[in-house]
Structure 1
Amino acid sequence: MANPSDCEQIKQIEKELLTNGPDAAAAKIQEYLDEWDNIPLNIAVTGETGSGKSTFVNAFRGILDEEDEGAAPTGCEETTLEVSPYPHPNYPSVKLWDLPGIGTPKFPADKYLKLVEFERFDFFIIISADRFRENDVKLAQEIQRMGKKFYFVCSKIDNTVRDEETRLRSRFSEERTLKQIRDNRIQGLEKLDIVSPQVFLVSSRHLHLYDFHLLEETLERDIPAQKRNTLLLAMPNVNPEIIRKKKEAFGSKIKYLASVSALIAAAPVPGVSFATDIAMLVSTVSQYQVTFGLHSKSLQSLARSACVPLADLRSVMTSPLCLNEINKELIIKILSCSLADMALMAAEEGFRYVPLFGIPAAASFSFISTYKALHTFLDMLAEDAQKVSKKALGFSTSV
């Protein structure tokens, strides 16, 4: 079902088509798609020195190796001395801002929000490695007073759980331990006058464990509708539901891409439509591959993090789109294996020369062939993303 913003866009495109013709309508669609891909999202990550802010910033952006390009520096000492933006490697309009620890001489608690330029952030994540302190609470109260959202994250929870297991031995229960930690943190914040605090237990080294998926769901629910897909596509693939939602988000764009294809096909120039369609398919499928974490660098990083041989992850992938660089030769080769797809393309070019009804028919065939191809490629990559997730992290493969 189309959402209200989609319906409004479709009306604007239809108006542009009737008023100024196919080229103007195609440009309008492309403008919408460009905006869709570049909606800014600014996430502030703050907390006291040594709380694990930088590690969380890296993990959220899918950077698991501190030596990787663009990684936020981490360490036992305070490594964040300035307000530092870290763009997402695949979606640069999404920035995580690693803020200096609150309460330092350069960033005193009473001037903190002004010094970090509070207004530019969509929401705040307040991180602590153990219990939340008075400065954390003061910051949360001030954020709340100024009308923005904040979330408490207990980091390094895997270390805490491991310590409890060592201490309790045979009496240890992970479920009970996590509940006690969560309840203690919530009660501590309530005693400091935070009403109904949202607390999430997270291991930045193992985002698929504990509460990260709950944090993702909460953020998705709380942020403005136009930014939800932006947040979702930038999220690491830590569970099957995120992969399913990414597939759904990409699927919602396909009708627009197919419409661009149809409008270009309305131009009476042989060969232009086919070349444009292939270029669009290459660009779009490359985005699918990167966002689902199926390109080489992401697979290597996942293999290291999950302690699974890279060859094992590659062995479960069946689509040629996952095992090769996405280029026009590969796309044409895959399309040529489908007689139906080739017949649609041939029909599009053939109808171009039919008087009167030829151009509308060519546009229709172009829409159908692009729409079908993109859904096929999206299905292939989403399915392999689920298989890789199951192999690395032990989840089911429901798409």
Structure 2
Amino acid sequence: MDAKNREWIRLIERKTEHLRSAFIEKGMTGLCKTIQNELDSWKNETINIGVLGEAEAGKSTYINALRNLDADEPGGAPVGNTNMTSKIRSYDHPNNKNVHIWDFPGVGSTNNPKDGYLEKIEFAKFDFFIIMTSKRFSENDIWLAREIKKKRKKFYFVRTQFEDDVENEMEKKENKEIQKKDLESILKQKVYEDCKRNLEEFKCEDNIFVIDSYVKSSYDFEKLETHLIHDAFNISDGKHLAITSCLTVMTLPSLKEKKLVLEKRIPKIALRAAFALRVKDTDIMILKEEMEFYKQQFNLNERSLRRDAEVSNIMERLSKIEESVQHIEKESNEMEELNEIDKLMPFLPVINIRKTYKASKTLLQKALERIYEKAVDVNLTMMEGLTHD
């Protein structure tokens, strides 16, 4: 048995003993509360993401895009205000107030010299750093990357405003006959190669991202989010779930990532529902709340569907999409496992707890699969709308 598997076994043994102790010390109520506290622990995780770069690098626009907000919405980061660049600003994620994205002033100016800069931004508390530029990474950017690397913090190089580059090249006479998609590919490769040469000392080929925050469905915006999710997993389970619940780009890889994270919750939710059987109808309520949570996580709630339909230019199809989502809810309420649980009587022998646990796991797995498949369908519909824009 390898070291990784041994560590997993030790972890499971510790969690099992923890639940057993909760039951012995505080009874059924204490056990249910312990399970719920573990399920909700990710909500208390604090994540700090620092966005670094010089003025006009597109930091504010990226921060808004990461939070699925416009600059003129409540909580939106002001865009195009160079005076704001001289201040440190923190923006909470609307889906989780414990996830903070920070906009930092550029380093190396009279107001923000290198000496003392890291202390000024409270460098040590950050989980991730995103170093942005709309042109070429400067000496100051490279200095920051060196300092971050010394502290063994995760950081990413992000080249922004790429759509502007494409549009500018499209207007040139020599490019009139080139298809936009082909030109995008050519320019993107050029940017990658330039960044690799510029950042050669970091050996960071897999850590360079080309994005345009106004066109999140194109280029590397989703790829960057996926890296954030994967790297959060290496910090802790809580941070992994916290950041996965926040990121909103519903591309196929990110949908799959969310599904894998949500699947990890199923055994604990089923266990909590099984013990809640002793309070009539509480088990059903717990399961329905979890299914609603799945729907929210996949952006299948009313607000998210409307916003995505507007962006994708498919508002005329919104009512049909909403109707199909409601059909999923109806199917979930009619599932055989839910009916089976509903028939079980509270205060009966342990066999009913076992039956509820087994039926709850099956129910949640099926419901998650259906909601995931619907999210994939909606995603493809949105992408079709963008393609035919």
What TM-score do the two structures reach when normalised by structure 1? Answer: 0.83
In structure 2, what is the Cα distance between the partners aligned to 1:321 and 1:93?
34
Code of the aligned partner of 1:342: N
CA separation of 1:344/1:142 partners in 2, compared to 1, >3 Å: closer, same or farther?
closer
Match of 1:366 among 352, 356, 373: 356
Compared CA separation, residues 343 and 87, structure 1 to 2 (3 A): same
User: Residue 247 of structure 1 corresponds to which residue in structure 2?
Assistant: 259
Please list every run of 5 or more consecutive structure 1 residues that lacks an aligned counterpart in the other structure: 323-330
Cα deviations by residue, 1:57-76 (Å, 9 ceiling, x for unpaired): 1111222x222222111125
1:283 aligns with 2:280: no
Distance in structure 1 (CA, Å) of the matches to 2:76 and 2:8: 36
1:86/1:8 CA distance change after superposition, 3 Å: farther
Kept in 2: contact 1:103–1:135 (CA 8 A): yes
Q: 1:3 to 1:228 in 2, by over 3 A?
A: farther
What is the aligned counterpart of 2:177 among 155, 162, 170?
A: 170
User: Are the equivalent residues in 2 in contact too, given 1:229–1:249 (CA < 8 A)?
Assistant: yes
CA–CA separation in structure 2 for the residues paired with 1:189 and 1:106: 26
Pick one of 89, 99, 122 that aligns with 2:94.
89
Q: What is the correspondence of 1:58-73 to structure 2 with a 5 Å cutoff? A: 58-63=64-69, 65-73=70-78
Query: Which of 206, 217, 234 is the matching residue for 2:215?
Result: 206
C-alpha separation between the residues in 1 aligned to 2:327 and 2:97? 24
1:30 aligns with 2:41: no
* The one of 333, 338, 343 aligned to 2:340: 343
Which has the larger displacement, 128-137 or 31-40? 31-40
Q: What code does the residue aligned with 1:393 have? A: M
Distance in structure 2 (CA, Å) of the matches to 1:216 and 1:362: 43
The whole-number CA distance in structure 2 between the counterparts of 1:218 and 1:335 is 33
Compared CA separation, residues 242 and 3, structure 1 to 2 (3 A): farther
Q: How does 1:307-326 map to 2 (within 5 A)?
A: 308-316=313-321, 318-320=324-326
2-structure distance, mates of 1:7, 1:83:
44
CA RMSD of aligned residues (A): 2.7
Q: Contact between 1:88 and 1:94, CA under 8 Å: does it hold in 2?
A: yes
Task: Pick the aligned partner of 2:270 from 258, 266, 277.
Answer: 258
What is the distance in 2 between the residues matched to 1:118 and 1:244? Answer: 32
CA offsets, 1:233-272, max 9 Å, x none? 222234111111111211210110111111222x4xxxx2
CA separation in 2, counterparts of 1:67 and 1:283?
33
1:273 is paired with a residue whose SS is coil
Counterpart AA for 2:176 = R
Spell out structure 1 runs of 4+ moving beyond 4 A.
1-7, 333-336
* Counterpart amino acid of residue 44 in structure 2: N
Is this contact kept in 2: 1:153–1:202, CA < 8 A?
A: yes
SS at match of 2:117: helix
- Report the Cα offset of residue 3 of structure 1: 5.4
**C-alpha distance in 2, partners of 1:215/1:159?**
19
Number of residues of Structure 1 aligned to a counterpart in Structure 2: 369
Deviations 1:320-346 (A, max 9, x none): 177xxxxxxxx7x75653455323311
Mean Cα displacement is larger for which, 195-204 or 14-23?
Answer: 14-23
Superposed CA offset, 1:107-130 (max 9, x none): 223332111110111010011011
1:194 & 1:178 partners in 2: Cα distance? 20
Q: How does 1:78-117 map to 2 (within 5 A)?
A: 78-117=83-122
Partner in structure 1 of residue 159 of structure 2:
154
1:293 to 299, 304, 309: 299
CA separation of 1:214 and 1:3: change in aligned 2, threshold 3 A:
farther
Contact 1:237 1:389 in 2 (8 A): no
Q: Does 1:389 align with 2:379?
A: yes
**Retained in 1: the 8 A contact 2:337–2:363?**
no
Q: TM-score, normalised by structure 2?
A: 0.85
1:136 paired residue among 131, 137, 141: 141
The letter of the residue matching 1:152 is F
Gap regions ≥5 residues in structure 2: none
User: CA offsets per residue over residues 203-224 of structure 1, 9 Å max, x none?
Assistant: 1112221122332333334342
Query: Partner of 1:261: helix, strand, or coil?
Result: helix
Which one-letter code corresponds to 1:343 in the other structure?
E
Kept in 2: contact 1:85–1:96 (CA 8 A): yes
8 Å Cα contact 1:321-1:381 kept in structure 2: no
